[in-house]
Amino acid sequence: MHRKATVTSYFDARVTVPMIRLRGHWLKRAGFREGDALRIEVQDGRLVLTRPEVSTRISFGKEH
Contact 25, 34 (CB under 8 A): no
Q: Indicate the pTM of the whole model.
A: 0.67
User: For the segment 9-58, what is each residue's pLDDT rounded down to a tens digit?
Assistant: 999 889 999 999 999 999 999 999 999 999 999 999 999 999 887 656 66
Q: What are the start-end ranges of the E strands in 1-64? A: 8-12, 15-19, 39-43, 46-50
φ and ψ at 20, to 5 degrees?
-125, 125
